Amino acid sequence: MLNAGKAVKVSIYLSEGSTHHGVPTYSSILDFLFYRGVSGATVLKGIAGFGADHHMHSASIVEISDHMPLIVEFIESREKVDELLGKLEDLAGSGMIEMQETTVAKPAQVSEKEKKKSAPLAAHLKIEGKAKLMRIYIGESDRWKDKPLHKALVEAMRANDIAGVTVYRGILGYGAHRRAHPDKALSLSRDPSIMLSVVDTEEKLQSFLPLVEQMVEEGMVVLSDVDIIKYSHRALDADPPKSSTGPASAQA
């Protein structure tokens, strides 16, 4: 929680059309800040301006409207900003980051529970050999901060540089309450099971586990030892496969 006193105001200047791994950069930054426990952040959209390319951009010109300037701003303690700065520099790409010393006269009031602790950010490691498999079992109706829990978990994993996650929807099963949950349109059950499957290094998953424990109020989380035989991904700018006869992969 942000307290009254000395703090740092951070402004991240972006182009509206910029992306990070196929996601709008401002959205990736907001997800990162949110799941790292930053007190609050705001995205501001410019209506005119120019940047490093020295080209004037105006919202009245439709064909270049996706290049309007955006600013992501947040205020946090110096310690917190120093902790996040390295990842923010990576996310901002060619954008500019500005920091100003400021004073918080009155912090915003928190009406919810005490702000959750952030999981420490571990440096991204290449996966090879021994690794860990994390499976998270929850109900489809489970929610976290007014959004589906499984979606919030995926966003949190992406924000914390987890290598990838796949979400599976159960078609039949029962849980701790021993009520069967068939996947039928006319069934009385409205809570099919959801399983999230994640493979990453033990260090990365152990550092992320405290956040999982905070978000999953009712469910089960298991860790297993696995051997990575091959881990690779297609470059984002590469052409998609020509064949359309096989099933598409759901792995992020």
Give 181-212 pLDDT, tens digit per residue.
555 443 434 567 899 999 888 899 999 999 99
Q: 3-class SS at 63?
A: helix
Nearest to 57 by CA among 3, 14, 99, 102: 14
Nearest to 30 by CA among 57, 2, 70: 70
Per-residue model confidence as pLDDT tens digits over 205-229: 999 999 999 999 888 999 998 887 7
Tokens of 113: 């529970």
pLDDT at 40: 87
Per-residue model confidence as pLDDT tens digits over 6-54: 999 999 998 888 888 888 999 999 999 998 888 889 988 877 666 555 5
Is residue 95 over pLDDT 70?
yes
Q: What is the C-alpha separation between 9 and 76, in angstroms, rounded?
A: 7
Question: In DSSP terms, which residues pair with 130 in a beta bridge?
Answer: 227
Is residue 115 over pLDDT 60?
no
Is residue 61 over pLDDT 70?
no
- Those residues whose C-beta lies under 8 Å from the C-beta of residue 31, and which sit 6 or more positions away, are 155, 156, 158, 159
Band (pLDDT 50/70/90 cuts) for residue 113 is low
Band (pLDDT 50/70/90 cuts) for residue 248 is very low
pLDDT at 246: 39
- Cα–Cα distance list, 230 to 50, 148, 240 (Å): 45, 32, 20
Q: Kindly tell me the burial class for residue 52, based on how many C-beta atoms sit within 10 Å of its own C-beta (0-12, 13-18, 19 or more).
A: exposed
User: Considering only 71-75, 127-131, 223-227, 235-239, which range has the smallest mean pLDDT?
Assistant: 235-239
Which domains are assigned to the chain? 5-104 (3.30.70.120), 129-228 (3.30.70.120)
Per-residue model confidence as pLDDT tens digits over 134-162: 999 998 899 998 889 999 999 999 888 88
Mean pLDDT for the stretch of residues 49-66: 54
Mean pLDDT of the chain: 76
Is residue 123 over pLDDT 50?
no
Report which of residues 62 and 27 the model is more confident about: 27
